[in-house]
Structure 1
Amino acid sequence: MYSVIVVPIDSSRPDEQVRLAPGETLRFGRTPSDDPTGFLTIPHHGVSRRAGEITAAGSHWTLSNLSRTSTYVVENPEGAGEHIKIAPGRIEAPIPFEFSRVVLPAADDLLSFDIWAPRHDYADEPAAHCDGGEPTAHPFPLDRTKRYFLVLAALCEARLRGAPHAPPPTVDQVVDRLRRVWPTASRTAVQWNIDYLAVKFRMKQPPESADCGPRLNGKKESLVSLALRFDLVREAELAVLDTEPAVPERKSERELGPGQMPGAAAP
């Protein structure tokens, strides 16, 4: 069974794809090989003659960077900016992504080709071996029916939709984005939820704490970075931004002033 599928640059037909079984290797570079079935030709003067090698394993693949000067980047197109850098000369670096984009710096251009590794296996019941006892506490408990999750999804939307380097939206932009599902959203309510998320993610102490700590700069950027790093918001969950959630709006969310937060209840 094939475990890796390589999709060449500008490929439009399935017969142009290269399929590798575990243990098989595909070399790539500028100069065509005597064996065209085992070599992916990238005809660009900025690509090394023997640029690298792709080797299939069972549920992952490895990349060897045979360039002397160029660092290759392997992006996760579904990871909102997640990537791995492969330094010049690095051999058999393991790549864990199910969908990957290999980016090669080539003179004044950036070239890329895709790799699919569909043989990612997951346990049906990860905790089946447990024999009772207290359940494990979730490190970032989120209620996806709450207003704060709408705000978090709006903050993460641009990066999840294919703009991995997009800056977080402003509070006003979040308010505009949420008008459809939260008609009475305001700057005060959105900022309150951002502050609440910062406390929930343990980035700052709650207001009633004796030591609130220093002022947290870059709060939205930190929230987005943490949420995407641990998959707290996924692309499929962005549907909440266009579907009215069955959550009654709380008076406190409309009337709290800037910087004010209730003591215990989540928004």
Structure 2
Amino acid sequence: MGWSALALRVVVAGTPGGSAPAVEVVCEEEMTFGAGLANTPVDIPLDDESGEPVAGRIRRVDRFWLITNLSRSRTYVVENEEGSGEYVCVPPGRADMPVPFTRSRITLPSPTGLVCLSVTAPDPAYLASPEPSARPAHRPDEPTSAFGLDEHAKYFMVLVALCEPRLRDSSSPAIPSTPEIVRRLQHHGLCAGITEAAVNYHISYLARRKLRVRGDTRSARDAGARINWQRAAVVSTALRFRLVREEHLRLFATADADDETGAERHPPRRHQAYASGAAPPGPGNISSKSAS
């Protein structure tokens, strides 16, 4: 059966063999989900014996959808499967909460594990953009980009490397260290030969000048704590405002190919000491003159 591009589709996630049938929800239609009983059937049955017979409702409204939590004790989580860790919580009894995601995963906690539903909504609508030739000339009072990032600059490559773990796995808390970023970028044409001092400089530049992250870093106990806070703030800001997205990982394609072909010729001897227990050089031992 072919699905309409405007269909809202719901499927139980994690079923053996991925054989669970998808359910289509048409506009203004409502579907219930839960464990179900013989005298209390549901539209989307879940393998959740300890859960409510009717755990919740999904209602389609135009191009978006609403969720109702019919549980008296459980909070549901709706995650954005296309984003960088965004989610909304649906507390017990919450009715008709709008969900702003196109591809979502509803997670219900259960004593036997997590029970999940995947929901795919119709593509969102956007305002039509005028053709380049029809656009008026830039006016002095016209708003410009809030952050003004240059995607062809070295600092942007450093930013993508910082965000890479979260882009590949939105639940990952990992933030790469300076040596890890150097290893990631050292074979990239734009960043070939980049140093640890240069990476630290670019991160500081992003935090202070481009993303303008705010916080009292003076309260940190040492320079290392300030640097860690700054990195976390840069990653959080970049992902929240979608300044770095999954498609930017394609910038590493050339670097990955070069890394595979040159791994045997150029083993990463410099960083083998870190794996054996030696600490990488701290910020105080790096000369700013070596930044490139």
The TM tier, using the shorter chain, reads 0.7 to 0.9
What residue number does 1:254 align with? none
The answer to whether the aligner puts 1:148 opposite 2:159 as a matched pair is no
Paired amino acid for 2:211:
F
What residue number does 2:196 align with? 187
Q: Greater relative contact order (Cα 8 A, min sep 6): structure 1 or 2?
A: 1
Contact kept? 1:3, 1:58, Cα under 8 Å: no
In structure 2, the CA distance between the partners of 1:35 and 1:66, relative to structure 1 (3 Å rule), is: closer
Q: Secondary structure at the match of 1:54?
A: strand
The answer to whether the aligner puts 1:23 opposite 2:34 as a matched pair is no
Q: Which runs of 5+ in 1 are unaligned?
A: 206-211, 245-256, 262-266
Paired amino acid for 1:25:
E
What residue number does 1:221 align with? 232
For residues 187 and 34 of structure 1, what CA distance do their matches in structure 2 show? 66
Contact kept? 1:195, 1:259, Cα under 8 Å: no
Alignment of 1:1-267 (within 5 A): 2-10=6-14, 12-13=18-19, 16-32=21-37, 39-125=43-129, 133-134=139-140, 135-181=142-188, 182-199=191-208, 200-203=210-213, 214=218, 216=226, 218-243=229-254, 258=286, 260=288
For residues 213 and 99 of structure 2, what CA distance do their matches in structure 1 show? 31
- 1:192 Cα offset (Å): 0.7
For residues 194 and 115 of structure 2, what CA distance do their matches in structure 1 show? 43
What residue number does 2:271 align with? none
- 1:137 Cα offset (Å): 1.9
In structure 2, the CA distance between the partners of 1:102 and 1:204, relative to structure 1 (3 Å rule), is: closer
Alignment size in residue pairs: 242
Paired amino acid for 2:176:
P
RMSD value over aligned CA atoms? 2.9
> What are the Cα deviations for residues 183-207 of structure 1, in whole angstroms up to 9, with x where unaligned?
31221111111011011211269xx
- 1:258 Cα offset (Å): 4.6
In structure 2, the CA distance between the partners of 1:222 and 1:130, relative to structure 1 (3 Å rule), is: same
Q: After TM superposition, which residue ranges in structure 1, 4 or more long, deviate above 4 angstroms? A: 32-36, 126-132, 257-261
Paired amino acid for 2:114:
L
Contact kept? 1:45, 1:107, Cα under 8 Å: no
- 1:167 Cα offset (Å): 2.0
In structure 2, the CA distance between the partners of 1:23 and 1:86, relative to structure 1 (3 Å rule), is: same
Q: Secondary structure at the match of 1:31?
A: coil
Contact kept? 1:153, 1:233, Cα under 8 Å: yes
> What are the Cα deviations for residues 216-235 of structure 1, in whole angstroms up to 9, with x where unaligned?
45111111100000000000
Contact kept? 2:83, 2:170, Cα under 8 Å: no
Paired amino acid for 2:108:
L
Q: Which runs of 5+ in 2 are unaligned?
A: 221-225, 256-284
For residues 74 and 63 of structure 1, what CA distance do their matches in structure 2 show? 9
TM-score (norm 1): 0.81
Contact kept? 2:197, 2:288, Cα under 8 Å: no
For residues 193 and 141 of structure 1, what CA distance do their matches in structure 2 show? 15
For residues 253 and 64 of structure 2, what CA distance do their matches in structure 1 show? 36
For residues 219 and 90 of structure 1, what CA distance do their matches in structure 2 show? 36
Identity level (%): 33
